[in-house]
A = this chain, B = another copy of it.
Amino acid sequence: MESAIDTHLKCPRTLSRRVPDDYQPPFPMWVARADASLQQVVMAYLGVQYDDPERRGDALAALRTIVGTFDGPDGPVHHDLTHHVDNRDHHNLMVVAYWADPAAYGRWLRSEAVAGWWESDDRLHDGLGHFREVVAPRVDQFETLYAFQEQLPGVGAVMGGISGDINEHGYWGSMRERFPISQTDWMQSNGGLTVVEGDPAAGGRVVVRGHDNIALIRSGQEWIEAGEEERSLYLDEIQPTLEAGMDFLRDNGESVGCYSNRYVHSIDLDGNPIDESYNIGHWSSLDKLERWAESHPTHLRIFTTFFRVAEGLDKLRLYHEVSVSSGSEQLFEYVNCHPGTGMLRDARVASNA
């Protein structure tokens, strides 16, 4: 049994845990481990949006253009692709890309292939929406949790290693306690979202400024290798409840502090679905996410189902990664996206009056 907080990230606590030192989790879970040289990661959600299904080919081409920029020394360490239809019936293709080196990400972002493409007036007129939502948490600002130990998805693929059984799971508050920074910091929000360029209602280019400690959760399900029994467990028991909870957050997020919630399905480069899905939720703060998770019936049902089956899981892969980031390490940019996209919905237009 080891701590979710890696040895080199331990520090003298000013904030205590919720559970006593002799706490024993009810089943084993694992976290990703990285070399101590890893300081900060970049998580970039790069999206293409389209309304008319006939635009699908163009959108997939745009997605492939983005993925094409990943070749070369400054590209991300890892990426994957998704599709989802949002609550305004728009289709969204996304690639999430992970860098282990913010400097490489910066060079990639400023490269002609990326900056030139993004800044081109073609983006305003190609009939597609485009967005990029990027956060760069330091290693003390994120945590992971896996019910398996191999071929970690998401940020785990960047980190490269896996822990032994960890102690901090199985109780409400354990997510927070897996964050190294929770030893000394409450991760509190210091404001709301602000439109700093453009007008979401008008379309065109819009830039939103975030704030400290926006929390981002990626919570995933991979049933691609699952046998009959686990497949049925997932599709019949977990997925319907999961969808109900994710729909609630998508449609009512503002009431609970969830800025954006996208339940996405993995795809390949041609847009074909893969038996993997995940949810991407942006929250105004970690404690808002905690409150929802621990009190909403749909999430509690997912939680109790997981408790019931966790020890018997074989090929069904459930995991999550949660980060907070400094306001200065966030980028939320949109081109011709509908005003309910991502951070746009809850962003206030700064008044110049």
- Give 4 new A-B contacts, CB below 8 A, not counting A18-B176, A172-B173: A23-B287, A170-B295, A171-B290, A300-B300
A1-44 vs B, Cβ < 8 Å mask (1 yes, 0 no)? 00000000000001110111111001000000000000000000
Residues of chain A having any CB pair with chain B under 8 Å: 14-16, 18-23, 26, 170-173, 176, 186, 188, 287, 290-291, 294-297, 300-301, 303-304, 307
In the complex, chain B residues whose CB is within 8 Å of the CB of A173: 18, 172-173
Residue in B21, B172, B186, B290 whose CB lies within 8 Å of A294:
B172
Contacts of A170 in B (CB 8 A): 291, 295
Asked whether A188 lies within 8 Å of B20 as measured between CB atoms, the reply is: yes
Q: Tell me the smallest distance from the CB of A187 to a CB of chain B, in Å.
A: 8
Contact of A18 among B14, B18, B20, B295 (CB under 8 A): B18
CA distance A78 to B295 in the complex (A): 35
**Cβ–Cβ < 8 Å partners of A296 in chain B:** 304
Q: Compute how far the CA of A20 lies from the CA of B171 in the bound complex, rounded to whole angstroms.
A: 18
Q: Which of B14, B176, B188, B291 contacts A22 (CB 8 A)?
A: B188
Whether the pair B303, A295 counts as a contact (CB closer than 8 A) is yes
10 contacts between A and B (CB under 8 A): A16-B16, A23-B287, A26-B295, A170-B291, A170-B295, A171-B172, A173-B173, A295-B304, A296-B304, A297-B301
In the complex, A23→B291 CA distance in Å? 10
Q: In the assembled complex, which residues on chain B have CB atoms less than 8 Å from the CB atom of A22?
A: 188
In the complex, what residues of B have CB within 8 A of residue A186's CB? 20-21
Known: A294-B172, A295-B307. A287 touches B20 (CB 8 A): yes
Residues of B within 8 A of A304 (CB): 295-297, 300
CA separation between A170 and B292, bound complex, in Å? 11
Contacts of A176 in B (CB 8 A): 18
- Taken together as a complex, chains A and B put the C-alpha atoms of A301 and B173 apart, in Å, by 19
Contacts of A188 in B (CB 8 A): 20, 22
CA distance in complex: A174, B212 (Å): 26
In the assembled complex, the Cα of A249 lies from the Cα of B81 at a distance in Å of 46
Per the bound structure, the CA–CA distance linking A26 and B297 in Å amounts to 15
Which chain B residues lie closer than 8 Å to A287 at the CB level?
Answer: 19-20, 23
Query: Chain B residue with minimal CB distance to A21?
Result: B186
Contacts A300-B300, A304-B300; A294 near B20 (Cβ below 8 A): no
User: Which residues of B lie under 8 Å from residue A21 when comparing CB positions?
Assistant: 186
* In the A-B complex, the 3 residue pairs with the closest CB atoms: A172-B172, A20-B186, A15-B16
CA distance A104 to B14 in the complex (A): 43
